[in-house]
A and B are shown apart, each in its own frame.
Chain A
Amino acid sequence: MGQILQFGINGLMSGAIYALIAVGIVSVFKATKVVNFAHGYLIMFGAYFYFTFAVLLPGMSWAPAWYVSWEPAWLVEMKEGLPMFSPLGAVLDWLTNLPRVIIGLIGALAANAVVGLIIERVLMRPLMGQSVFAMIMVTVGLISVMSGGAQLIWTADANYVPSLAPNTPIRFTLFDTQIFLFGTDLVNAVIAVLLFGAIVAMVQFTKGGVAIRATAEDQSTAYSMGISVPRVFARAWVLASLTGAIAGAILATRNGVSPSLGLFGFSVLAIVLMGGLDSYVGVFIAALVVGVLEAMTQWKFGGDWAGIVPYVAVLLVILVRPHGLFGQKEVERI
């Protein structure tokens, strides 16, 4: 039983991050009916912006000392004599990076929002009123542009970034089994769930959210009711970029920064299809299910199966419910 819990928790933590990645795809689809194939690359840009503000800028000669490493006297004093890899040491090490982490996150959010706005204003808005297929094709083309652009700006070097939270190990016993968790993964998962909840609440209860839902229902009617549809489009892209920035920063702390981060978007696309392209709740559940299935398969059958089993489940769900678990069934009237 303890084992099941251990791998179940691992899976839930991965699933929460999948959900955070997926929320950007759903936001854009809900408002614009466009499946954004380039969302993984928007996340990759978020990761690179975090790397820029948290690693590259502090490395500049003009960067103030506190930005490079924050070491007040009390912190230095506390660190003295601590054994290597001690839990307290991990927290104190993280504290020295705190200014970099905060500035990195703020910088990534701001810069990625600008990227999202540019994409919407320059590439998407001129296509409004055209076939949705054309807009989807633009997002496919965007993959090459963003992937090549990132390599031109940051090169293809693999790099590493400071963790968003202290990586203190958490241990406890459950059903006579020792459970291990990584502090940083737990915090990442909590951030992902909170953000997801905030977005769902925003879409459900705010004026802007109502505008997104109205536009998703019918663009022409939304226009005629005084809703600025272009602004809704822009808002959806900014939302996707902001969640993408956080997801990018989290992925960067887990896997390092490299151009391959862009590929994560594709693996999450299947989760979005499983949950329903226009359903936040469905996608959240699907992300958790895939995360847990992956971890359980990894535990029982090994990695070769872990890459297949969850996606077989996705296929089965789509066969039974083509619009996904909670997706809205479209009625075509002739």
Chain B
Amino acid sequence: MKLNRRSFLATGAAATGVIGLPAIVKAQPKEYVVAQSLPMTGPFATAGQLVSPASKMFEAITNAEGGIGGVPIRVEVEDSGYVPQRALANYQRALATEDNLVMYFGDSTGFMKLVAPELKGKNATLMGSTSFATELANPEKNPYQYVAGPTYEDQFDILLQNIANEGGSTVAFIYSNTEFGRDPLAHGRQKAEELGIEVVLEESTKAEGADIPTHVTKLAQSNAEYCILQGYVTGVWPQLIGGARQLGLQTKFMGTFWGMEKLIADRVTAEAGPFLEGYLGVMPYRYSYDQEDAPRYRTYAAFQKEHFAGTPLENYMPTWGIEALCSMEIGLEALRRVANKGLELTADNAAEELAGIQDWDSGGFFGPNVSMVSNKIGTGRVYQYSTESGLFEPRSDWLSV
């Protein structure tokens, strides 16, 4: 074939098209976006402001390890004020403005329930959160949402089993009058009955500023051997325990994940005395100081020492930060599996890989290797606070429910 100017250009264009097409089709973005709504203001601002730096650490470490399939990630944090509608607006804004949004982290059960019906088609994104609500662990209904640990019902199961093992026969449930507080009650009642434990009091309180004397009086009258506290973060639970101890009650107090923070326990002990001695609770993850069998924690610790020097995060990562990190690591694992298969990072592909996470080595968040079952990881163990050491110390083996 004679090569003239016209045929040269035509052949050149065709060749470029053939060679370049796959690259165009599989064009890799410059970056992927992981967006978050955190309560930087409002009643749970304490938690939000500590989680935010942890998210930036997650971004830096993920990118240092090659991002997702070689593409770096960018973490974007917006304030929700712990108002589900504001978090929803944040999510919708992220969808509208970020072309490569691959994962979202929500800050409450309320937000996760509010956003669930919207997660369809192009509006769907892989979504972890701070919530352990039972309703979220339902892949048939919410395939894109997951719980980074055992649900509140599972946590109640672990605590009630612990009470039964210790020979306990009566329990009180004290909970905040929020969705978060009420979540595991019906299941807890049923489980207690199965185990032969009598629920002698179900007491609802305000989430903040509860009338401690009235609640403690009712607890004293119920004569409960054990009391499970549910639905609190920074307040109420320490005051309830303090009040009960002042009245001389021997009730053993137990908490679920959000009431198990060492920073709070330490501050209460410093100002009010050793009321929290012996306080028990369920923790899905190791505490950040338990690094021996947790290589991932050691990586975080090295980063924290270097970048958070002089802040409370220099030597300790609060459980709230650990939970957010674990949730994002689970999402990252699913997204990396999608990328490794050469597939597009769609919410559907990510959800499929998420459901396939089995026998996963989390790098030490959980004791044993864990599996995602019904979009949750039902593993945890019982810890107990010691006012002398200022540490939550393990009181059981890792339990799976």
On A, residues with C-beta under 8 Å from B are 6-7, 10-11, 13-14, 55, 84-85, 90, 93, 147-148, 151, 155-163, 167-169, 180-182, 185, 251, 254-256, 258-261, 263-264, 294-295, 298-299, 302-304, 306-307
Contacts and interface: CB of A to CB of B under 8 A. Distances in A.
B151 to A, nearest CB: 22
A191 B49 CA distance: 35
Interface string B154-180: 000000000000000000000001000
A260 B43 contact: yes
Given A158-B46, A256-B235, A260-B42, A180 B217 contact: yes
Interface string B39-52: 01111011011000
Contacts of B256: none
Interface of B: 40-43, 45-46, 48-49, 177, 202-206, 208-218, 220, 234-236, 238-239, 242-243, 245-248, 264, 267-268, 270-274
B19 to A, nearest CB: 55
A9 to B, nearest CB: 9
Contacts of A298: 211, 214-215, 218
Contacts of A157: 46, 49
Contacts of B205: 303
Contacts, number: 122
A251 B212 CA distance: 12
B208 A307 contact: no
A302 B246 contact: no
A156 B233 CA distance: 13
A302 B204 contact: yes
B239 A85 contact: no
Given A156-B40, A303-B206, 10 more contacts: A7-B217, A85-B246, A93-B273, A160-B238, A160-B268, A182-B212, A259-B45, A295-B214, A306-B204, A307-B177
Q: Chain A interface secondary structure, helix, strand, loop or mixed?
A: helix
Nearest to B49: A156
B270 A160 contact: yes
A106 to B, nearest CB: 19
Contacts of B48: 156
B235 A158 contact: yes
Contact of B239 (A11, A159, A255): A255
B203 A303 contact: yes
B202 A302 contact: yes
14 contacts: A85-B245, A85-B248, A156-B46, A160-B238, A182-B212, A251-B209, A260-B43, A260-B208, A261-B209, A263-B208, A294-B211, A295-B214, A298-B215, A307-B206
Contacts of A10: 211, 213-214, 217
Contacts of A260: 42-43, 208-209, 235
Contact of B213 (A84, A151, A182): A182
Given A181-B213, A260-B43, A304-B177, A254 B246 contact: no
A237 to B, nearest CB: 25
A254 B212 contact: yes
A169 B246 contact: yes
B208 A169 contact: no
A16 B146 CA distance: 46
Given A155-B49, A160-B270, A160-B272, A256 B213 contact: no
A48 B62 CA distance: 38
Contacts of B270: 160
A303 B271 contact: no
Residue among A11, A55, A167, A251 facing the most chain B CB atoms (10 A cut-off): A167
A156 B41 contact: yes
Contact of B45 (A156, A254, A304): A156
Residue among A7, A155, A303 facing the most chain B CB atoms (10 A cut-off): A303
A158 B213 contact: no
Contact of A299 (B42, B214, B234, B243): B214
Contacts of B242: 167
Contacts of A167: 242, 246
B41 A259 contact: yes
The 4 A-B residue pairs whose C-beta atoms are closest, nearest first, are A303-B204, A156-B45, A158-B234, A160-B271
B256 to A, nearest CB: 18
A256 B212 CA distance: 12
A316 to B, nearest CB: 22
Contacts of A90: 246
Given A182-B246, A295-B214, A161 B271 contact: yes
Nearest to B43: A260
Given A156-B49, A254-B212, A55 B247 contact: no
A151 B44 CA distance: 12
B247 A180 contact: yes
Nearest to A160: B271
A151 B45 contact: yes
A160 B235 CA distance: 10
Contact of B43 (A155, A161, A258, A299): A258
A288 to B, nearest CB: 14
Contacts of A148: 41
B186 to A, nearest CB: 14
A261 B239 CA distance: 15
Contacts of B271: 55, 160-162
B211 A159 contact: no
B177 A182 contact: no
